[in-house]
């Protein structure tokens, strides 16, 4: 999430009541989740196991629960609860409506048809010649391009599935990102595409999604991808262009699939994949799998 205008380190520290390490006027441009950070972003970390990852990331402001040596060119915000204060910063700069107020600051392009039963949040942009079927839900800040088809009961911009355990309960990291659907995308019935925690979940131009697909927060789907029914993609994945995912493929969070890959039905992904065709619980190369099957069947 980028702020509407640059902030100063002391301003953010005062907002959350934290100590800070660095010049008072150190520039802060926004916040982001660890997988998506850019220079100028705040990233939070609240466990020593991840200190190095956060401190050495592209983020230049680290919201941390202990004062540590600060890398050159960076700054620290020292908080007793970085998770809580990350939420506080995000919701200060991005108001959360959750359909409780119908402000309807919506832009709709020429030729677009929206069924009367569809529900549209605030600050939504919809392009030209787009078709939105009954009972579609479009969350706040969603951006939809031209010539898009969104079929019934699909939800764009639901909350990210991102929690911590606190005092025996689950505490949500509040989602202030959005969903971007590029031009010429088709989305089937009953799909759910979560908005980014602090960035955008993106469906690339020309991609086609079947029914009952789940796409997690901050995931980026490339151009002209084909995704079959019951695929589940966790958060912060990068799917290249012209990737085909057949039914019930499951992809764990933070993984990358190279452009042109094909994942056959029920393939499971727990690592980055180079271009190829894969099958099986742990995404085995398809030709290797076939050779193995031939050897097994020829055993006497």
Three-state DSSP string of the chain = CEEEEEEEHHHHHHHHCCEEECCCCCEEEEECCHHHCCCCEEEEECCHHHHHHHHCCCCCEEEECCCCCCCCCCEEEECCCHHHHHHHHHHHHCCCCCCCCCCCCEEECCCCEECCCCEECCCEEECCCCEECCCCEECCCCEECCCCEECCCCEEEECCCCEEEECCEEEECCCCCEEEECCCCEECCCCEEECCCCCEEEECCCCEECCCCEECCCCEECCCCEECCCCEECCCCEECCCCEECCCCEECCCCEECCCCEECCCCEECCCECCCEEECCCCEEHHHHHHHHHHHHCCC
- Based on its alpha-carbon atoms, the radius of gyration of the chain, rounded to whole angstroms, reads 21
What is the spatial distance between Cα 156 and Cα 153, in angstroms, rounded to a whole number?
A: 10
Catalytic residue chosen out of the listed positions 4, 35, 104, 217: 217
Give yes or no: 104 in active site.
no
> Do the Cβ atoms of 250 and 264 come closer than 8 Å?
no
As annotated, the active-site residues are 217
């Amino acid at each position: 999430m980028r702020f509407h205008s640059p902030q100063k380190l002391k301003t953010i520290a005062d907002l959350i009541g934290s100590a800070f390490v660095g010049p008072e006027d150190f520039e802060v441009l926004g916040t982001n989740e660890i997988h998506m950070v850019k220079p100028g972003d705040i990233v939070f970390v609240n466990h020593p196991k991840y200190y190095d990852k956060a401190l050495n990331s592209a983020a230049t402001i680290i919201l941390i629960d202990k004062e540590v040596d600060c890398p050159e060119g960076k700054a620290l915000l020292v908080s007793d609860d970085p998770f809580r204060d990350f939420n506080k910063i995000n919701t200060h700069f991005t108001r959360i409506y959750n359909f409780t107020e119908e402000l309807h600051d919506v832009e709709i392009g020429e030729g677009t048809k929206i069924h009367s039963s569809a529900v549209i949040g605030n600050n939504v942009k919809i392009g030209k010649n787009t078709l939105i079927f009954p009972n579609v839900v479009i969350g706040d800040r969603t951006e939809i391009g031209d010539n898009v088809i969104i079929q019934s009961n699909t939800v764009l911009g639901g909350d990210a599935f991102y929690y911590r355990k606190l005092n025996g309960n689950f505490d949500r990291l509040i989602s202030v990102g959005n969903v971007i659907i590029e031009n010429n995308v088709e989305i089937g019935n009953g799909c759910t595409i979560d908005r980014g925690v602090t960035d955008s979940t993106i469906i690339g131009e020309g991609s086609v999604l079947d029914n009952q697909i789940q796409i997690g927060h901050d995931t980026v789907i490339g151009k002209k991808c084909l995704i079959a029914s019951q695929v589940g993609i966790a958060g912060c994945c990068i799917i290249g262009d012209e990737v085909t995912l057949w039914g019930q493929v499951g992809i764990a969070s933070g993984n990358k699939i190279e452009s042109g890959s094909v994942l056959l039905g029920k393939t499971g992904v727990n690592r980055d994949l180079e271009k190829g065709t894969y099958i099986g619980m742990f995404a085995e190369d398809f030709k290797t799998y076939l050779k193995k099957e031939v050897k097994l069947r020829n055993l006497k």
